[in-house]
Amino acid sequence: MAQKKAGEILAKFFDDGAYTSLYAEASGAVVAAFGSTNGCPVYALAQSGAALSKKDTAKAVKVLEMAAKTGNPVVTLYDSIGSDLTEGLAALTGASEV
C-alpha cells in the first residue's frame, strides 16, 4: 500500500504521469524514478511513509550520483517516520551519506 502511495505521488509529479522506475524491486521506503516535469528531465525520490533503511539511503545516494553525472535536478518528496531503528547506526550513517 505504501509503495502504491509513492507511485501515485510520482505519477502526479511527472508530465502525463509517465516516468521510468529506477529500481525493479518494489520493497523499501524509497521509490526512485526518472521522467520530465514541465518538459524538464528530472530524477525524483519519493518516500513511501515507512521507516528508512540503509538500503533506502543507498538508493538515494545512487540517484544523486546519476543526477550529478547527467546534470539533471533531483526532487525528493518526503513522507517518512524516520529511520529503521533495528538497523542501528547503519541507517543513521546511510542518512548522513544522503
The per-residue pLDDT for 2 is 52
Q: Residue 69, exposed/middle/buried by CB under 10 A (0-12, 13-18, 19+)?
A: exposed
Name 33's bridge partners.
21, 44
The per-residue pLDDT for 1 is 38
Torsion of CA 62, 48, 33, 92, to 10 degrees: -10
Contact at 8 Å (CB) between 25 and 71?
Answer: no
Please report, for the chain, how many H helices and E strands are present, in that order: 3, 4
Range among 26-40, 43-57, 64-78 with highest mean pLDDT value: 64-78
User: Which pLDDT band, with edges at 50, 70 and 90, does 98 fall under?
Assistant: low
Tell me the whole-structure pTM to 2 decimals. 0.77
